[in-house]
Amino acid sequence: MEEQLKFYETNSPTLKSHVNFIFTERSANFFSCYLIDFNINAIMPVQMLTKRKKIRSINKLTPLNKPMIGIIEDISDTDISISTAYIDEEDEKYIAFKENNQKNIVLKGIFKRYSYKNTKKINELWESIIYPLFNELKSSECEDSLYDYFVSQYETLKIDSDLKDFIKENIIINIKKDFENNFKLVSIDGIETTKKLLEDSLKEYQKEVNCDINLDYTPKYTLLSVQEDNSVFFKILNNKITTQNLQVFVAN
């Protein structure tokens, strides 16, 4: 099983905070959920799903394995309860959380690509570098996001020179990715082949466009880009599949 990145050092979110999650299972009284950045399970009571009185399709409101944003409503010894019913998309905290999500995707992408390329364990790498930096940020008066703080500090970190060079090559200082392209890659050549294919295609496309790929939910991927038309990326991807004679199939 693929190692899942544990974004936060803590094992529990705070009450009323926003979290990234996916629905994993539906039942009559509640929905099973997974908090992506904490690597822990949670539940959503049916009444916490929506404020609508009439629901035409539960399945449309609870798409399985699709990343969503929720709010922590309750934490007990046995369960963590979240809701989507009370999300206010105009709330400043929600807007800030969503903006930081985009930056965090870039940060995670840098570490994931480096770990894949160098056969490193992603969590060991993340824990040794990001956890201390995040604690340093929280204890300071700095109001930067984790990504912005990382950008300002990475050159002073005591890390391998090859990792530092990789960060410098892959870092994107001005994060503004307004467009998303969702796609699937189905492969019989194995996950490592798929990851290398994506990494090589992305690296080539990044020479032209400010972009990144969310690799969290294989075989579903999201290309984040500053431009709406990203057909060139998919031409690069398909060309590599053809020239390398890979058994990989791209689908929207």
| Mean pLDDT computed over 202-225 | 78
Q: pLDDT: is 8 or 53 the higher one?
A: 8
What single-letter amino acid sits at 214? N
Q: Would the pLDDT of 129 be above 60? A: yes
- pLDDT recorded at residue 3: 65
| Mean pLDDT computed over 122-149 | 90
Gap between the Cα atoms of 138 and 18, Å rounded: 17
Gap between the Cα atoms of 134 and 148, Å rounded: 11
Gap between the Cα atoms of 194 and 61, Å rounded: 30
Specify the residue for token string 């956890």. 131
Q: Distance between alpha carbon 186 and the CA centroid of its chain, in Å? A: 20
Between CA 39 and CA 44, with CA 40 as vertex, the angle to 5 degrees is: 130
The structural domains of the chain, ordered by start, are 18-83 (2.40.50), 92-170 (no CATH), 179-251 (3.30.70.1130)
DSSP assignment of 49-88, as one string?
Answer: T-S-S--S-HHHHS-BT--EEEEEEEE-SS-EEEESTT--
- pLDDT recorded at residue 249: 83
58 close to 68: Cβ distance less than 8 angstroms: no
Gap between the Cα atoms of 212 and 171, Å rounded: 10
Residues linked to residue 44 through DSSP beta bridges, in sequence order: 31
Residues linked to residue 214 through DSSP beta bridges, in sequence order: 222
Q: Could you report the per-residue pLDDT of 41-99, keeping only the tens digit for each?
A: 999 999 999 887 777 788 888 999 888 999 999 999 889 999 999 899 999 999 999 98
SS3 breakdown of the chain: % helix, strand, coil, rounded to 5? 40, 25, 35
When computed from its CA atoms, the radius of gyration of the chain, rounded to whole angstroms, is 19
Q: Would the pLDDT of 211 be above 80? A: no
- pLDDT recorded at residue 227: 74
Gap between the Cα atoms of 215 and 116, Å rounded: 11
